[in-house]
Amino acid sequence: MISSLQQLPLDNRLLTLGEAYYSRVAPTPLREPRLLHANAELAAQLGLDPALLHTPEFLEIFAGNQALPGGEPIATLYAGHQFGNFVPQLGDGRAILLGQLRDAAGQLWDLQLKGAGPTPYSRFADGRAVIRSSVREYLAGEALHHLGIPSTRSLSLISARDPVRRESIEHAAVICRVAPTHLRFGHFEVFYYRRQHEQLAPLADYIIAQHYPELWERDARHRDWLREVIGRTAALIAQWQGVGFCHGVMNTDNMSILGLTLDYGPYGFIDAFDAHHICNHSDDHGRYAFSRQPEIGYWNCSRLLQATLPLLDAQPERAVEIAQELLQHYAAVYEQRMNAIWRAKLGLAEAREQDAELIDGFLLMLHAGRADFTRSFRLLAGVRCAGEGEAGPLREEMRDLARFDAWLAGYQARLRSEDSDDAARALRMNAVNPCYVLRNHLAQRAIEAAERGESGEIERLLELLRKPCEERPGFEAYAAEPPPEAQQISVSCSS
């Protein structure tokens, strides 16, 4: 267990690529920083003594006020397709990589400050984050991680009195974002479209060596690596769909090269189910609506393949053929993972041809009646195999009772055909259908408390989100449908 920040086993491996990939930059200090919350669970995973999180040295370093011992801070260069339009240069506009930590198991971890001030890629912005957006990202990383969905996480949440202008004047905050890497599709796009194709292979080889070492000795390692990225991306989006999670800004520069959920902005978990829900109020045309996330993931993978064509074959025609073959992997993985997720959520023990009709019937019914997505799946575990109307509290969630009763009869018949045991099935279903998700109104409550300098609501939410499928007495309000006033909460790209 590391007991001093002076002893951090840093391995700043990304810097070996050279300055074509990044710019050196120091964080901008904050005035009177205050630790709002620290992630002791993540600290332990990194091999850090949790007592370190509450030292003055930790506060100053992770507020950006002191240098990380052994760190070499940089901001990386990338491009990306934003809402379908290519932007030739983006980069870490408000994120600074302090250093890379190598844990006891040999895993590499980025320690990245988000909101630490301007970088060469800030495009005239201030490089800051505010309490509102920082609390949302801090909570969301933990929420998805504990749902078993790959995600970046955060080690610390620090606030300050520094004013930041957004729609109004808010207070600054900075999080230390942690992931094996924050590299994304856009890191390849920038060099492809600049025709600096010689920069592609070193970047790909760095990623393969550090994060896909099993592929290193293969003759076609770049092809096999891209196939793996495509598969991970498809699986990730299937997991999002399974819990009703909307990312909100699925630009290619927000797509992780490891298949992680990256860059939390106007995200949201669906409450009243609308298959075409748009969680981002900046998304005027619904490009990133819930129902479109799978196809956008496919499109984004096609942009990654376009950017890496020079890695696939020296002959352009053959490279395109290989890319087209690789892209087919997306649909196959997505369908397999999505069907498995829906079957598990419905408690189906076997895969059958009729599954799609049963699954779609339930989802269409939720959509038509705007039933609560999370609650409906959770209550589905209370259905019994035998007897008419044995639906428990789930029936109360439904608007069209005749339609529900017809679907229920078919569902019960299916369960009986599998000799399904009610109690055993309920245990399985309750292990995959969460009771608690990070609903927007819950996050907003934590934000408002944090803006008053109070962190208790953050801790209460984290306590629930760390075990999202475990019902906790006294916390029924956190699993209930949102109150009517929650409909007024709006999230956009500034969130």
| pLDDT (tens digit per residue) in 84-125 | 999 999 999 999 999 999 999 999 999 999 999 999 999 888
Do 258 and 139 fall into the same domain? no
In a domain, 423, yes or no: no
Is residue 84 within 8 Å of 52, Cβ to Cβ? Answer: no
Q: Is residue 229 part of a domain?
A: yes
Dihedral in degrees, nearest 10, Cα atoms 78, 207, 152, 90? 0
Helix (H, G, I), strand (E, B) or coil at 95: strand
The backbone torsions φ and ψ at residue 10, rounded to the nearest 5 degrees and listed phi first, read -80, 140
Quote the CA–CA distance of 453 and 338 in Å, as a whole number.
41
Q: Does the annotation list 300 as a binding residue?
A: no
pLDDT reported for residue 493: 64
Q: In terms of domains, do 120 and 11 share one?
A: yes
Distance of CA 191 to the CA centre of its chain: 26
DSSP 419-434: T--HHHHHHHHHTTS-
177 is in an annotated binding site: yes
Q: Which amino acid is at 400?
A: D
Torsion, CA 168, CA 169, CA 173, CA 178, rounded to 10: 30
Write down the pLDDT at residue 167: 82
Examine the domain organization and report whether 254 and 149 are in the same domain: no
Same domain for 52 and 107?
Answer: yes
Question: CA 408 to CA 392: how far, in whole Å?
Answer: 11
Query: pLDDT value at position 389?
Result: 54
Q: What is the pLDDT of residue 484?
A: 83
**Pairing mode, strands 129-130 and 169-179:** antiparallel
Range of the domain at 241: 187-344
- Bridge partners of 114? 95, 175
Is there a binding annotation on residue 410? Answer: no
Look at residue 426 and tell me if it is in a domain.
no
In one letter, which amino acid is 221?
Answer: R
Choose the final residue of a domain: 292, 312, 344.
Answer: 344
Answer yes or no: do 155 and 118 share one domain.
yes
User: 96 forms bridges with which residues in the sheet?
Assistant: 113
Rounded CA separation 230/305 (Å): 9
Q: Alpha-carbon distance 290 to 307, whole Å? A: 26
Could you tell me which residues are beta bridge partners of residue 308? none
* In-domain check, residue 111: yes
| Number of structural domains in the chain | 2
Both 27 and 162 in one domain: the answer is yes
Q: Is the domain of 132 the same as that of 271?
A: no
Domain assignment present for 47: yes
- 95-102 and 108-114 strand pairing: antiparallel
Q: How many CA atoms lie within 13 A of 325 on its CB side?
A: 10
**Residue 421 annotated in active site:** no
| Pair (166, 201) in one structural domain | no
Tokens of 91: 């980069």
Q: Are residues 227 and 78 in the same domain?
A: no
**Dihedral angle of Cα 112, 117, 121, 123, to the nearest 10 degrees:** 150
Tokens standing for residue 272: 């009243």
Q: Is 91 annotated as a binding residue?
A: yes
110 annotated to bind ligand: no
Scanning 347-421, the segments in alpha helix (DSSP H) are: 355-369, 373-379, 401-417
d(CA 15, CA 72): 8
Does 449 fall in a domain? no
The pTM (predicted TM-score) of the whole model is 0.96
pLDDT value for 490: 67
Confirm or deny that 375 is annotated as ligand binding: no
* Helix-then-strand count for the chain, H and E: 16, 12
Residue whose structure tokens are 């856009």: 186
Same domain, 146 and 199: no
Domain boundary among 118, 146, 181: 181
Residue 18 and residue 89 in one domain = yes
Four-CA torsion 490, 491, 493, 495, nearest 10 degrees: 120
Boundary residue ending a domain (181, 196, 220):
181
* Length of the chain as a residue count: 495
Catalytic residue among 162, 253, 283, 372: 253
Same domain, 306 and 260: yes
Q: How many CB atoms lie within 10 A of CB 134?
A: 26
pLDDT (tens, 9 = 90+) of the chain, 495 residues, equals 898 899 899 999 999 999 999 999 999 999 999 999 999 999 999 999 999 999 999 999 999 999 999 999 999 999 999 999 999 999 999 999 999 999 999 999 999 999 999 999 998 889 999 999 999 999 999 999 999 999 999 999 999 999 999 888 999 999 999 999 999 999 999 999 999 999 999 999 999 999 999 999 999 999 999 999 999 999 999 999 999 999 999 999 999 999 999 999 999 999 999 999 999 999 989 999 999 999 999 999 999 999 999 999 999 999 999 999 999 999 999 999 999 999 999 999 999 999 999 999 999 999 999 999 999 999 999 999 886 557 778 998 899 999 999 999 999 999 999 999 999 999 999 999 999 999 999 999 999 999 999 999 999 999 999 999 999 999 999 999 998 877 767 676 655
Q: Is 123 labeled as ligand-binding?
A: no
Q: Report if residue 239 sits inside a domain.
A: yes
- Distance (Å, rounded) from C-alpha 14 to C-alpha 96? 13
Residue 480 lies in a domain: no
Question: What residues does 184 pair with on adjacent strands?
Answer: 256
